[in-house]
Structure 1
Amino acid sequence: MKGQLELLINNLGSSYQTLVRLGLVEKHSIRASEYEDTDTLEIESIPGLELIFEPDSCRFETIYIRLRNDPDCDLPLYSAPLPKPLCLINNRHATINHLGGPLYSGEADPTNQILARDTFQLDQHLHHAASLSLYYGADLKPNTIVISLLDASI
């Protein structure tokens, strides 16, 4: 049986109304983003998950999964099981071992507080057209997983 996170990933590209109808999010849980540099809509009712929606169509486009906090941060963490292959990833080496070479990699730049990161095509059984980005802490264990549509028109 699929868990809530796997069902959310499977439904990237769906509308907010569809997610409500499927029982994946609560009605009236969507709100304007609190970040100054974006006009997206979001839902943060599940601890450790942030769901991002396109503002005009309310299309579900991105999931942020917070596994660990940076030292100066104390946000809620996601504690439920991750679907395969995400549950197999416990450090950067394991990520590349399980997922292959990344489409894009960036090394950490501690001076500018930029984390090391890798981006992959998401496993097809989770979503046919999504990317998977991992942002690592200084110990190269994943802090945040970001799953996004590859093409916003999907």
Structure 2
Amino acid sequence: MNVFEFEVLIERIGTSHEVLVGQGVLPDQTLTEIYEGRDRLELELEPGIELEFWRETRRFETLFVTLIRTIPSMSKYEGELPISYMLEMTQSDVHAVFGEPMASKGPIKMPVPIGMTGGWDSYPLDPELYPGKKVVFQYAQDMRVKTLVFTLIDKGHR
């Protein structure tokens, strides 16, 4: 995926799957259910790039970019990223580039196979380019960025 395609995806967060396919932004692939009854559907665009849709409306709500594999079945993204983002970053790098986060959470112990995490920091995206959207930097235990999460600030549901 190139930088332009990335920026288009981030810009289109909040758009329905049907519209994204009609615009040629996404391939006409079936959205998958990770487990039965889940209120979100997924689409893996390429290794390390996953899109999440709200089941009820099929609205694209979250773009996950995996930078560090934390479990064996996970794919890592190795392509291009928009300016200000790097394939290898630490929390210190994030704070130096983005400043003070709008929200933050320290290390958390998750169930196996994930285990201990480094927490996360959240920043609003440029409101002129990406209104109502934010990026969340999720950290591994050693405080390297493991996942970039581009999502809506207010999804309008739980």
Normalising by structure 1, what TM-score? 0.84
Structure 2 counterpart SS, 1:65: strand
Q: Name the Cα RMSD after superposition.
A: 2.4
Question: Which residue of 115, 120, 124 corresponds with 2:118?
Answer: 115
CA contact (8 A) 2:49 2:66 kept: yes
Checking the alignment, whether the CA contact within 8 Å between 2:116 and 2:141 is kept in structure 1 is no
Equivalent pairs counted in the alignment come to 151
Cα distance in structure 2, aligned partners of 1:141 and 1:100: 16
- State the 1:31 CA deviation: 2.2
Aligned partner of 2:150 among 136, 147, 154: 147
Does the CA-based 8 Å contact 1:117-1:134 persist in structure 2?
yes
Segments of 5+ residues of structure 2 without an aligned counterpart are: none
Equivalences for residues 27-106 of structure 1 within 5 A? 27-32=28-33, 34-35=34-35, 38-70=38-70, 72-87=71-86, 90-106=89-105
Letter in 2 for 1:92: Q
> Structure 2-normalised TM-score?
0.83
Given that 2:48 and 2:76 are in contact with CA atoms closer than 8 Å, whether structure 1 keeps it comes out as: yes
Runs of 4+ aligned structure 1 residues displaced above 4 Å come to none
Percent sequence identity over matched residues?
27
